[in-house]
Structures are given as C-alpha cells and as structure tokens.
Structure 1
Amino acid sequence: MGAKAGKRVTAADVARSLGLSRATVGFVLNGTTGQRISEATRDRVLAEAARLGYRPHTAAQTLRRGSSKLVLLVLPDWPVEFSIGKCVEEASHALEEAGYSLITQTRHPAGTARPLWELLDPEVVIGFGPFTPEELTAMRGCGITKVIPRPVKSPSPSDPLGLHDGPRLQVEHLRTLGHTRLGFAATADPRLAGLVESRLHVCRKTAESLELPPPVVRSVDDAPDAAGWAVRDWLGANVTGVVAYNDESAARVVRAAVRAGHEVPADLAVIGHDDNPYAALFVPSISSIRIDYAGLGRHLAALALHEATGRSLPADGAGAAAAVVARESTGSSPTGQ
C-alpha cells in the first residue's frame, strides 16, 4: 500500500504499511540509538521506506538535531567564469570535509523564485555581495541568524580578502615596465557593472598614487569592432599599456591590435586579470593576475564554519593572494619612458 500520487511519503505511511508503531519506524528512520529494535525489523522498515519513496523532511530533522548542516552561498548575477567556479568548488570540498553541504543560488534582478533560505533552512547564509535590508529581514523572519552579508567588499577602502590587489598589481606592473599612459579595457555587461567599477576604482587610485594620469577607459565588448575602435583611441591618445578588466577583455584587445597590424607588446602592452587557462594558450600569450581563488573558497568555508560551530578562523587570513604572471603581451614601453 503506497501513498497517494503527489503526496509526500511520511514515517506514518511507512508504519501504516508495515503495521508497526510510528515510534518504532521513527527510531529506525532517524537512526536513534539505544532502542531495542531487531535487525530484521530495521531491515523491513528501511526496505519499505525505499519502496514507498520516503525522503527525510529537512525542517523536521533540523528541529531534532539543531543543525541542517547546510550552507547557502548566494551569488550575484555574474557569468560563472573560471574564477568563480574554482572558488565555489574549493568551498564545497572544504565544507564537505567538515560534514556540511554547500548549496548555491544566483540572484536574478527580475527573478520570481523563492529564495532557498526559505525552503531549505540553511544553517549559514553567505553573500558574495551585500544583502539588501529586505533580504536580511526575510532571513531573520525564517529564523536564520548566521548571515555573512558581505565577504567581498566592492568598492571599499578596506579589502579584507585582498581582491583589490589585482588591479593595483596590473598598474604597477605596467608602470615598472616604463608605461606612463594607460588604458582600461572594460566590459559593458550590466551584470558586471559593480565589479568593473570596483577594479577601475582601484586602477585609478593606483595610477594617482604613482603620479600617472587617469586611465583612458574604453569598452571592448561584442559590438562590431568595439575593441578595434578602443585600440585606435588608445594609440591616438599615446596609450602604451592597457589594464584589462579580465582575460577575455585582454584577449579582445590583443586580437584587435594584431589584426590592425600593431605589435603586442611593442606598440601596445596588455595585462589581463584572473589568469584563466586560455591566457597562456593565446598568441601572444597574455600576462595576467593570478588570484588564489581556491584559497578564497577555503576562506569562505572557514567563515561559514566559524559562524556555524565557533571554529577559529585560520591565522593566514583569506588566502586570496594575488600575483603577476608575466607573459608575452607585456613589455617595455616603445618610448622608453
């Protein structure tokens, strides 16, 4: 005898099907220790539960043991690039080692789906960007008190995760090579507007600290010959080095420059960001900034476990160290300045 179609199978359904008490079935399904239940009865309960399609009720289990062992990572509506994927993968592995499961949800501005914190009762909610006051109020209404609203601050004078080091190193690398007039290759993707502005903000502040003029900003998106026009504008403005928002933007600039008959890096040096795998395969290979996104993922996991269990945070901080990976796309300024 099975449950009606569309109805959630409960422990009571299993007990009714077997002619056993609900308490006995509950003890077996919940793995309650210290009960005198024969192995034969346990096997019967588990077999019937599987046959009927019984699944544990998450909220009920949470009430019983005081922890759902779930961590929810709320992602902004960004393209899932190599860097974000590596970060999430490493966070998931670190949490699994501690007995927790990581679930992710992407927030879409026009989305109507209910947030997962209302459906899954996560123990900790982490935002990869700031939560709105309305979201924080909704979480509190669901009984969620362990919230990390902003593990990545953008833009901000302080940068506890070290993510502002990348744009700073891009500018410093080009300046060290003699470039005094810089460009900034941006993307016009509205989903990335905040992140682009954050990196551009750091780029401008670093140029100012080095007594360089503000970078000449151009978009290098998919619009017909956008990168080509950007290259012409930069060369016309005596720009010799370009800081690219990411490696894809850098690749667009390098391709446009080479197709226009310019030499990279002799006429225009370019440095990307994130050190995606294809940066080393491009011709000429693209200099980039390597961020320890795996370390950042481990740090996010450590933040979650600190909130959930009180575990101490690692002494080495965020682990999102940034470093220049110099390749063929950067070189000395053609003017020797």
Structure 2
Amino acid sequence: MPGAPTKRVTAADVARSLGLSRATVGFVLNDTPGQTIPSGTRDRVLAEAKRLGYRANAAAQTLASGKSRIILLVLPDWPMDYSMRTHLDEASLALDEAGYTLVTMTPHPGGRARPLWETLRPDVVMGMVPFTQEQLDQIRGSGVPQIIPPVAAGEEGAVGDLGYTDGPRMQVEHLLDRGCRRLAFAASADPRIADLVAQRRALARHTLSTLDGSTLAAEAAITESNAADQLRSWIDQGVDGIVAYNDDIAAIMLGAALRSDLAVPGRLAIVGHDDTPLARLVVPALSTVRVDNAGLGRYLAELALSAATGSPPPLAGPETDAHLIIRETS
C-alpha cells in the first residue's frame, strides 16, 4: 500500500535468509567480543545485512549494553565564534573516530526546553565550564554515569578555565616592547562573555602593573557604532596601543583608525587575539595571539573517552602556550 511504513529489517531476518542461527548473526552484527566466528561466515552475514538494508536498533543496543555511545557537551551561553567552532569540530572528529557521537546543548536563562541529558541517555555529560549544584543534581538524577567536571562551580577540583591565560600577557608585552606606553583595552560588549572579558582585562592590567608599574590608560566595550567616538577619545588621552579582546574587536578598531587617517602602527598599534582568518585577511593584517583551539578539542574528547570507557585520563591538558603572531598592525 502506498505510504505504508516499511518493515524494519532485523537480525532475525538476516539469520533466516542465510540459514544461520540468530545467535551467530547477533554475534557478528554486534561485534561481540570473545566469539570465534569464521571469517567467511562473518563476511556472509555482513554482506547479507547490507543487501537487506539492516540497520542496528540503537535503542535496543543501548538497553542491552547500557551504553549509548553519546557524549553530551553542555556549552555556556557564549557566541559561537571561530575558537569555539574550531575545538568543537576537533572534538567531534576525535570522538567519531572512536565510535562516539558528540551532541551539544546550550542552556539559556529562562529556557523551557527539556535538558538533553534526560532524553538521550548519554554515557558522559561534560561541561565547558563547571556546572551549578542544581545542574549536577539534575544530571545525576537522570542516571548519567559520568559527569565532567564532577563538582560544582567554586568547589575544590572544579575546572574554571579551559581556555588560555597567556594571551593578554603577550599582547601587553609586545606593545611595551615596541615602545607603546599608554595602552587601552578594547572589550566585547556581548554580555554573554562578560566573565571572559573581565578575565582578559584583569590579566592585561596585571601584566602592565608588573612590567611597567602602570595601569590601563583607558578601557571600553566596543561596538561598530561607538568605535569611532571611543577611538577619538582614546587618542586625545594619548593612547598609542590597543589590547583587543579578540580579532573581531581589533578589526573594528582598525577600521575606525583607518577611517580617521591614523597611521597603523605608526600612531596606533593594535593586537588582537585568537588568530582567526579575519586577522590575516584585513589590510593591514592584524597582529594577534594564536592558541591551540584544536588541541583543546582533542583534550575534551580524550577526557570524555576516558570517562566513557574507563581508560586512563590524558596525562596533561592541551598545549597552552600562546604564540604571538606579529603582522602589520604592530
């Protein structure tokens, strides 16, 4: 009948077609360890399963094994920028190579969607930042066997920063080395990353205080609409170097400087952060800080796999050394 649902091909159908026992076919299709199935029989089963259109029943396999082979990564409510995309891509690839699926979710303030840890039965729930105690209680209550990190934010053992802290130090050191003496911090105005902005600003201040005995001459949250006015104010204050939160903010300030006929880097030096493709494409090309976002992705995958399989955790985190990339704006 047109439109009628197609009957799902089962392992029993494959066994019946080949005249083999259901157990033998099940051992092959489930790749059951400890079974000695002749290679010829295994090849026949796999070929017939493909011919008939057999697809494994994921729900049944999960019930039978207690494993869904799903890793749920809970993301903070941050913008999906180049850095985030890079390490998520790398984590997804590494997990896929190990036979696991990476699924992400982002809880939003006031959101009403049912958390995926309640519906997917993931083997591991991992947070990019520590969970609240309420979230931990909910995840444990849903039966998830492994949680990373396993303690709430603020408790001993919670990992508060999976990013990098050397970047702002290198930005400031480079600007001081090239002779800049009045530095401004150009921040992002996105409220979702206020904590990250505050962290980088504090690191820039600390470096200035340690190396030069001074502090930031100015700081502001930058948008496309306020960049020109803010830059004029900074120039009036004698600012000659800008530490930008990221390459997007650095590019906005660079555009404002060029439209104001300010020589970059002659009158004003600018250093971004993240070494995004944008940094290489703008003219003049942005000096910036490169970090190993792909390495962070692989590290996240290794942590998740160690929890899911019981294997030893990675001996060390990702390579956290930042690398200053000097181009044309400094």
TM-score normalised by length of structure 1: 0.79
Query: Following superposition of structure 1 onto structure 2, how do residues 257-336 of structure 1 map, counting pairs within 5 Å?
Result: 257-330=257-330
Q: Deviations over 1:161-212 (max 9, x none)?
A: 5611111211111122222211011121122222212211222222222212
Matching residue of 2:203: 202
Deviation at 1:31, TM superposition (A): 6.3
Deviation at 1:329, TM superposition (A): 0.6
SS of residue in 2 equivalent to 1:76: coil
Q: Kindly tell me: are residues 27 and 176 of structure 1, through their superposed partners in 2, closer, same or farther at Cα, counting changes over 3 Å?
A: same
Deviation at 1:231, TM superposition (A): 0.8
State the distance in 1 between where 2:150 and 2:235 align. Answer: 39
State the distance in 2 between where 1:40 and 1:314 align. Answer: 39
Matching residue of 2:221: 219
Q: Deviations over 1:62-101 (max 9, x none)?
A: 3322322211111122221111111011111222232222
State the distance in 1 between where 2:42 and 2:174 align. Answer: 71
Deviation at 1:113, TM superposition (A): 1.6
State the distance in 2 between where 1:25 and 1:113 align. Answer: 43
Q: Kindly tell me: are residues 209 and 150 of structure 1, through their superposed partners in 2, closer, same or farther at Cα, counting changes over 3 Å?
A: farther
Q: Deviations over 1:229-284 (max 9, x none)?
A: 11112111111110101101000101101101111111111000110012112111
State the distance in 2 between where 1:134 and 1:262 align. Answer: 51
Query: Following superposition of structure 1 onto structure 2, how do residues 1-337 of structure 1 map, counting pairs within 5 Å?
Result: 27=26, 56-58=57-59, 60-149=60-149, 161=162, 163-210=164-211, 211-223=213-225, 226-330=226-330
What letter is aligned with 2:171? Q
Q: Kindly tell me: are residues 145 and 197 of structure 1, through their superposed partners in 2, closer, same or farther at Cα, counting changes over 3 Å?
A: farther
Deviation at 1:326, TM superposition (A): 0.6
State the distance in 1 between where 2:150 and 2:166 align. Answer: 18
Deviation at 1:30, TM superposition (A): 5.3
- What is the identity percentage for the equivalent residue pairs of Structure 1 and Structure 2? 43
State the distance in 2 between where 1:45 and 1:92 align. Answer: 28
Matching residue of 1:335: none
Which moves more between the two structures, 63-72 or 296-305? 63-72
- 1:88–1:297 Cα contact (<8 Å) kept: yes
Unaligned runs of 5+ in 2: none
TM-score normalised by length of structure 2: 0.81
The alignment's C-alpha RMSD in Å is: 3.7
What letter is aligned with 1:98? A
Which moves more between the two structures, 182-191 or 98-107? 98-107
Unaligned runs of 5+ in 1: 331-337
- 2:9–2:52 Cα contact (<8 Å) kept: no
